[in-house]
Amino acid sequence: MDHYDVIVIGCGASGYNTAIRASQLGFSVACVERGANVGGTGIRTGCMPSRLLLHTSEIYELTSKGTNAAFGIHDAATLDLAQMMAYKTATVERMSKTVHQLLRKHGVTLIYGNAQLAGAGTVIVGKTGGVTQMLCGTDIVIATGSEPTPLTLAPFDHRLILDSADALALERVPRHLAIVGAGAVGVEVGTIWRRLGARVTLIESRDRICHWLDRDVSAALARSLMHQGLDIRLSTDVVGVDRHIAGVGLQLRANDSPALTTLEVERVVVAIGRRPSTAGLNLASVGAQLESAGALPHPGSLFVCHGVWVVGDAAAGPMLMSKAEEEAIACAERIAGLPGFVNDSTIPYVLYTSPEVAVIGKTEAQLQATGATYKVGYCPLAVNARATITGTSEGFVKLLVDAQTSLIAGAHLVGPGAADLVSQVSVAMEASMICEDFARVCHPYPAWSEALRQAAMAAGGWMMHA
């Protein structure tokens, strides 16, 4: 039996970051990965492939639709989807290789196979050919990530009924693509294939897309997506699925009507959410109890029981790579007896759509639910000098400021560079910077970040550019 101070099960973002930080703190570490390569959903089948295709599809759209004609740039583009996918695959493999190198650099032992707990401190790894390897560890970290949730009435067949990974690896542009679920995955996948020429229909059971967003943000994003040509069906459920030679027939029922309608599409992407990938770990052997959704609960400490910890998508809470890394660092430090912590209120959430969306902290609805008094600082991007240069008219920065403390309670950004700008708000929130001080920070000109300053000024009643 091989002994390690820390055994990490799963080598995605939460797993390899836990392993690396634990090694830095002087522990002997093994990381067990059940997939064919390291990186997890974030690098191999989710975040990175999606961002790559959003980037390349945006370039294609800009050059193929005469978008630059106003600048005196006339061009025409042709789509080589096979080359685009090859670029994506090569980049993903390069990133997986980087994770390998980092693990090796920090002395982490990488073991491939399916891990299963066998009581406190013991892990059995099943390998190909029926071979097993037994590991003994003082602390065990569950970092097994998550998996797409299927439709009950139409399981994934990876041909007509696709999951998010399938949707990022299509060999040709579908004629008509239906996406069930208009959350983060749905709107990003829909954006990619609409840009590349597909007809896209988003089907959402709730009354708005990306329902967790501030309502102003959700509405702005929906308007933009519809302007780009996406068909959005809200308050609509899929009640029947008929697979046939030509594609898929979806039976739909709108919440305000008993009548059924049929939508004929070539393929269907199911993006109704993800669930923790914790099945088969034999967690009962250490007395761990799963929540109904399959997540491992923890009282804010990441500690489960009997030397078992949980991080990333397997833990309760938002499924974000940024959260996974934060929890990974905190978990390793807590194992070492250090005060590792995760500030959930300053973890940003980004959608790489067009326009980009970035949020952090509370929404107006959340503040209203608690009875908190707050001020709103709002700056439309149209008044920004950089927006004038690029011809951008949509988007805004919206800051929510606690009226009692003047601390920033939340920020909601729509527009170019939102993913980068939100980090400035994160720093301000972590540093407990009052909004007046945030408004005094000088920015270069012309820059998107000036909109942050103007929004902070607006919260104080002295916005200067509008």
DSSP state at residue 353: S
pLDDT in tens, 2-48: 999 999 999 999 999 999 999 999 999 999 999 999 999 999 999 99
Q: How confident is the model at residue 67 (pLDDT cuts 50, 70, 90)?
A: low
User: What is the phi/psi pair of residue 464, to 5°?
Assistant: -105, -20
- Among 143, 183, 220, 208, smallest CA distance to 351 is for 183
Q: Are residues 279 and 234 in the same domain?
A: no
Per-residue pLDDT for 300 more than 80? no
pLDDT value for 68: 67
pTM of the model: 0.94
d(CA 116, CA 124): 5
Q: Are residues 18 and 139 in the same domain?
A: yes
pLDDT in tens, 416-439: 999 999 999 999 999 999 999 999
Inside any domain, residue 401: yes
d(CA 15, CA 38): 10
Q: Are residues 39 and 142 in the same domain?
A: yes
- Among 422, 445, 356, 446, smallest CA distance to 395 is for 356
pLDDT value for 233: 97
Q: Are residues 322 and 364 in the same domain?
A: no
What is the domain extent for residue 66?
Answer: 2-147+275-342
- Is residue 53 a contact partner of residue 130, using CB atoms and an 8 Å limit? no
d(CA 209, CA 192): 17
Q: Are residues 168 and 235 in the same domain?
A: yes
User: Helices 184-195 and 215-227 sit at what angle, rounded to 10 degrees?
Assistant: 20
Cite the beta strand spans of 256-312 per DSSP E: 260-265, 267-270, 274-276, 303-305, 308-310
pLDDT value for 257: 86
**CATH (domain of 204):** 3.50.50.60
pLDDT in tens, 339-389: 998 998 999 999 999 999 999 999 999 999 999 999 999 999 999 999 999
pLDDT value for 367: 97
Q: Are residues 15 and 113 in the same domain?
A: yes
Q: State how many domains the chain has.
A: 3
d(CA 414, CA 47): 20
Q: What rounded mean pLDDT belongs to the chain? A: 94
- Is residue 175 a contact partner of residue 359, using CB atoms and an 8 Å limit? no
Per-residue pLDDT for 203 more than 80? yes
Per-residue pLDDT for 63 more than 90? no
pLDDT value for 299: 67
The residue whose two tokens read 């707990």 is: 117
Boundary (domain end) residue, out of 327, 342, 357: 342
- Is residue 30 a contact partner of residue 7, using CB atoms and an 8 Å limit? yes
- Is residue 17 a contact partner of residue 156, using CB atoms and an 8 Å limit? no
Inside any domain, residue 53: yes
Q: Are residues 218 and 306 in the same domain?
A: no
Boundary (domain end) residue, out of 248, 272, 296: 272
DSSP bridge pairs for 135: 2, 123
pLDDT in tens, 124-149: 999 988 899 999 999 999 999 999 99
Q: Are residues 263 and 280 in the same domain?
A: no
- Among 350, 368, 313, 372, smallest CA distance to 425 is for 350
